[in-house]
Structure 1
Amino acid sequence: MRTNSTTDTDVLVIGAGPTGLLLAGDLAAAGIDVTLVERRPHGLGNMTRAFGVHARTLEQLDARGLANELLATGTTLTSARLFGRLDMDMTRLPTRFNHLLVTPQYEVERLLERRAVDAGVTFRYGTELRGLRQDADGVTAELTDPDGTPLTLRARYLVGTDGHRSSVRTALGLPFPGRSVIRSIVLADVRLTDAPTDSFSVAGAGDTFAFIAPFGDGWYRVMGWTRTRQVDDSEPVDLEEVREIARKALGTDHGMHDARWISRFHSDERQAPAYRVGRAFLAGDAAHVHSPAGGQGMNTGLQDAANLSWKLTAVLRGEAPDPEALLDSYQSERHPVGTMVLRSSGAIVRLAMAHTPLTRAARSLAVRLLGAIRPASARAVGMISGIGISYAPAPGSRRPSGRRAPDAHLREGRLYELLRQGEFVLIAPEGANPAPPAGTPVTPKHLVRATWTDPAKKAAVLIRPDGYVHWTSN
């Protein structure tokens, strides 16, 4: 299946952010030949807005043996207070990670990069994509290496994880419809003389809103916005501007000092209409961008990668009875999730920006209803955390398929420990030896068998490598 091109690889991943690193690491760990291209030189800092790791992402990292190490880099929050009165309680989430982890994105990238290196991913830093073309057998990428020399690289599949200005999306001719939802957001990592009593709070006052969240090491992430200062991203921002916004929104600046990073940015709501074009795919910010409200951006991209990696693996191993249908399911499962995240994050930021009497009254009513109706509040927390997200059952499958599989203690260990092998896990009662249903994209060689410890469980359950139920026997 190789060609005589200058360089060959099974999968070419463009973009070494969290999404690309997780995807490349998954594929390489499964024995797939992967090349990861990144236009930045290796080691160049990439301080970004992402700072929160939600429960479902922690479960995915647990399935890769990384969750406990990442937890040690930040602080966990069990609740968030929105608009001064709505407590988003995460302690009721049905997971061992019933909290939000506040840690910088670079900590996530550090662990995922190490895993990808250990798994054998080939890295090409300082290399840019200039164009691509496809045929029936693969994708040819036109690149330039660090000294500007043209390079052609041939791959069986290509995945663009190269951010909201994706060169892959552009090369595929895909539109990125949407609009800017909020301008001139200021962001800073600071120390505080007077730490807030709420671990995580979002508040607004008139034309201003702000939030503060702790990293757990004495540093705090502050984000703020005011309608009275709407300027371009290129306009300088200093700590005094951040302090002023915080004072207006929160009533105090908590004695901010010693900022290690300050930035100004705007936020768009955009989504590509297709996540797959032939042998090329989009994931993460290359496929969807939205407001930072809810902290769902990086998390959604990592879930994209977890969904796509095992499907590409099954196809490249020759284990998928219908390869095209399996690859198409990436679009049918993840595109609706991207749309949902756009809507939920957009709703939060619009509530925060409410400034007319009518919109503020609507926000007050929405907050009261969410606080008073526990199922509605629990559903909101479940969707933002990712724990409540399920996929539609595949055609012909039994009804429970597509739902998230909670962790379980099995005879052979925890489910998410068994998922670290990157394979399907078939759980059955003691003494049973069921076979996966026809059409399952797995062979006996790559199937992990496990046994319920609870004798009351009589059904066999097949769990996908990304931790979702594929099939149940009754």
Structure 2
Amino acid sequence: MDASVVVVGAGPAGLMLAGELRLAGIDVMVLERFPQRTGESRGIGFTVRTMEVFDQRGLLRRLGEYQTSTMGHFGGLPLDIGVLGAAHQAARTVPQSVTEEALEAWATELGAHIRRGHEFRSLDDTGDRVTVTASGPDGVEKIRARYLVGCDGGRSGVRKAAGFDFPGTDATTEMLLADLRGVDLEPRMTGQQVGGGFVMVAKLAGGIHRVIVGERGIPPRRRTEPPAFAEVADLWKRFTGIDISHAEPVWVSAFGDATRQVTEYRRGRVLLAGDSAHVHLPAGGQGMNTSIQDSYNLGWKLAAVLRGDAPESLLDTYHTERHEAGARMLANTQAQSLLVLGGAEVQPLRAVLSELIGYPEVARHLAAKVSGLDIRYDVGGGTNPVLGRRMPHLPLTAGARTTSSTELLRPGRGVLLDLAGNAMLRRRAQDWRDRVDVVTGTAGALPEHSPLAGTTAVLLRPDGYVAWAAPGNRQSLSSALARWFGPATRPRPRR
């Protein structure tokens, strides 16, 4: 084999996956068709959940200075994310180019092999390996791997070559985007209605303004290259009366509201993550964030299978968990698209929803949805409210040191956190000590109404989701450990 895993695409999803695999000791090769980073930034920030993910891997420090905010939106309607608690904030000023640079540095420091200027051509999955054909500076070459993961975007060549079904709806509206220097524009909320269209202005780092403008009822054009800036400036002036033609365009692009999702995230030894698996209207940056979380879910599972710790069936949970999460994300972006792209006929719906957001329960529900905090995986039955949910940041005292649940996840291993000094519980986990860290600690003060109230122990997967908790779990700790981390190192003697 030339690599245990070949990843196609060096965007956020591909680079996150490469880092996760290397963190787990798996050799990985990333193929990227562009010879260097483009510097383009479709995404400009992180949801609350992605902030947690990056913190759990110690990546936030790599992003430099950035601003956080508790303000978001749902379909252009203001939404206070702060209703989820003071600890929950989103990053608003991190260009995707900075994210990719940070992730690439992390992955390469861990030993990932990133080959730029190599374009995917075809694949051959023989059941025991995948052979990838790619063209590079030295011509066409064949690369053998145990698994192939397509992270090559909405027009994924891997998805097409492997024959994945990609049902959904085509774009009905086109939006034009331009990042500009040399203008000073007042911010406008997402989807602000103006005449026959909608506009948005966001201030980015470095004095750059991002403008987005779209015209209702105009079908998307079939473009082979980005739109000219003059097209953006003309439409902007027509809708706002403001002339931006003198500005310097840093980047110009067009996008639509197509919504599609593959029916399966895995076919044999080929898997998909990120936009290769789902496309939708950009709404609150959920696309890039969902893509990063796809890779966060897949990385440790693929590594466990490749090391021989867990059976190949563990990869099936990648599909079941992330397909459902992707479907929920597509549903909420479709709902938002109606609010953003609709005209006067949608105004009554906007008015009613604005009233509903004023109710705390509704605001919390929508804030959790757009923040990525509403996800709950099926990890087995039980009544403990944290089961299947992501572990919130929990300060801890473990012996003589001060730590936290977030810091304990940085090595990318499982964690059994004993909060009640239960020696029997710790002994049961010893047969998985090569894959799971066992930590006895005392929790700091819990916030009011914390779901962790009364919890005496939690088993954390490497992606920070709670796989088992006490009390209130219907399966034994040993069963949960075997389900997520594979058989015990030594079989237990029968009584």
Residue 344 of structure 1 corresponds to: 332
Offset at 1:306?
0.3
Whether 1:363 aligns to 2:356 is no
Provide closer, same or farther for how the CA distance between residues 204 and 316 of structure 1 changes in structure 2, counting only shifts above 3 A.
same
Offset at 1:10?
1.3
How far, CA to CA, are the matches of 1:16 and 1:313 in structure 2?
19
Offset at 1:158?
1.5
Provide closer, same or farther for how the CA distance between residues 442 and 416 of structure 1 changes in structure 2, counting only shifts above 3 A.
farther
How far, CA to CA, are the matches of 2:162 and 2:392 in structure 1?
37
Residue 218 of structure 1 corresponds to: 207
In structure 1, which of residues 35, 38, 45 is the aligned counterpart of residue 29 of structure 2? 35
Whether 1:79 aligns to 2:71 is yes
Offset at 1:461?
0.4
Give the count of matched residue pairs: 458
Offset at 1:350?
1.7
How far, CA to CA, are the matches of 2:253 and 2:231 in structure 1?
11
Whether 1:153 aligns to 2:143 is yes
Whether 1:171 aligns to 2:161 is yes
How far, CA to CA, are the matches of 2:237 and 2:117 in structure 1?
42
Question: Which moved further from structure 2: 373-382 or 428-437?
Answer: 428-437
Whether the 8 Å CA contact 1:92–1:98 is kept in 2: the answer is no
Whether the 8 Å CA contact 2:74–2:366 is kept in 1: the answer is no
Offset at 1:212?
1.7
Whether 1:90 aligns to 2:105 is no
How far, CA to CA, are the matches of 2:191 and 2:216 in structure 1?
16
Provide closer, same or farther for how the CA distance between residues 14 and 95 of structure 1 changes in structure 2, counting only shifts above 3 A.
farther
Provide closer, same or farther for how the CA distance between residues 144 and 245 of structure 1 changes in structure 2, counting only shifts above 3 A.
closer
Provide closer, same or farther for how the CA distance between residues 287 and 295 of structure 1 changes in structure 2, counting only shifts above 3 A.
same
Whether 1:52 aligns to 2:45 is yes
Whether the 8 Å CA contact 1:75–1:216 is kept in 2: the answer is no
Offset at 1:184?
2.7
C-alpha RMSD over aligned residues: 2.9
Whether 1:203 aligns to 2:200 is no
Q: Could you tell me which amino acid in structure 2 is paired with residue 93 of structure 1?
A: L
In structure 2, which of residues 393, 398, 401 is the aligned counterpart of residue 407 of structure 1? 393
TM-score when scaled to structure 2? Answer: 0.84
Whether the 8 Å CA contact 2:72–2:80 is kept in 1: the answer is yes
How far, CA to CA, are the matches of 1:421 and 1:211 in structure 2?
40
How far, CA to CA, are the matches of 2:319 and 2:394 in structure 1?
29
Whether 1:392 aligns to 2:378 is yes
Q: Could you tell me which amino acid in structure 2 is paired with residue 361 of structure 1?
A: P
How far, CA to CA, are the matches of 1:265 and 1:252 in structure 2?
23
Whether 1:62 aligns to 2:50 is no
Paired residue secondary structure (1:259): strand
Residue 309 of structure 1 corresponds to: 299
Whether the 8 Å CA contact 2:123–2:132 is kept in 1: the answer is yes
Q: Could you tell me which amino acid in structure 1 is paired with residue 61 of structure 2?
A: N
Unpaired stretches in structure 1, ≥5 consecutive residues? 1-6
Provide closer, same or farther for how the CA distance between residues 174 and 237 of structure 1 changes in structure 2, counting only shifts above 3 A.
closer
Offset at 1:319?
1.9
Provide closer, same or farther for how the CA distance between residues 369 and 457 of structure 1 changes in structure 2, counting only shifts above 3 A.
closer
Paired residue secondary structure (2:463): coil
Q: How does 1:431-470 map to 2 (within 5 A)?
A: 431-433=421-423, 435=425, 443-450=432-439, 451-454=441-444, 459-470=456-467
How far, CA to CA, are the matches of 2:176 and 2:251 in structure 1?
11
In structure 2, which of residues 19, 24, 40 is the aligned counterpart of residue 25 of structure 1? 19
Offset at 1:241?
4.5
Provide closer, same or farther for how the CA distance between residues 391 and 37 of structure 1 changes in structure 2, counting only shifts above 3 A.
same
Offset at 1:378?
1.8
Offset at 1:326?
1.3
Q: Could you tell me which amino acid in structure 1 is paired with residue 63 of structure 2?
A: L
Residue 3 of structure 1 corresponds to: none
Paired residue secondary structure (2:421): coil
Offset at 1:403?
0.7
Offset at 1:44?
4.2
Offset at 1:147?
2.9
How far, CA to CA, are the matches of 1:441 and 1:367 in structure 2?
53
Residue 15 of structure 1 corresponds to: 9
Whether the 8 Å CA contact 1:184–1:232 is kept in 2: the answer is no
CA deviation string 1:114-139 (max 9, x = no partner): 01100111122222222222234222
How far, CA to CA, are the matches of 2:153 and 2:334 in structure 1?
19
CA deviation string 1:29-70 (max 9, x = no partner): 2111111111221x2415142222111111111111111332
In structure 1, which of residues 381, 388, 399 is the aligned counterpart of residue 367 of structure 2? 381
Offset at 1:104?
1.3
CA deviation string 1:288-333 (max 9, x = no partner): 011112221111100000000111122122222xx23311000110
Offset at 1:77?
3.0
Whether the 8 Å CA contact 1:78–1:99 is kept in 2: the answer is yes
In structure 1, which of residues 304, 314, 327 is the aligned counterpart of residue 315 of structure 2? 327
Q: How does 1:104-253 map to 2 (within 5 A)?
A: 104-149=95-140, 151-191=141-181, 193-196=183-186, 201-227=190-216, 230=219, 231-234=221-224, 237-239=227-229, 241-243=231-233, 245-246=235-236
Whether the 8 Å CA contact 2:75–2:335 is kept in 1: the answer is no
Q: Could you tell me which amino acid in structure 2 is paired with residue 167 of structure 1?
A: G
Provide closer, same or farther for how the CA distance between residues 390 and 246 of structure 1 changes in structure 2, counting only shifts above 3 A.
farther
Provide closer, same or farther for how the CA distance between residues 71 and 347 of structure 1 changes in structure 2, counting only shifts above 3 A.
farther
How far, CA to CA, are the matches of 1:141 and 1:70 in structure 2?
33
Offset at 1:376?
1.4
Provide closer, same or farther for how the CA distance between residues 316 and 384 of structure 1 changes in structure 2, counting only shifts above 3 A.
same
CA deviation string 1:6-30 (max 9, x = no partner): x522111111111010001111121
How far, CA to CA, are the matches of 2:69 and 2:6 in structure 1?
37
Question: Which moved further from structure 2: 222-231 or 429-438?
Answer: 429-438
Whether the 8 Å CA contact 1:234–1:264 is kept in 2: the answer is no
How far, CA to CA, are the matches of 2:389 and 2:87 in structure 1?
17
Q: Could you tell me which amino acid in structure 2 is paired with residue 79 of structure 1?
A: M
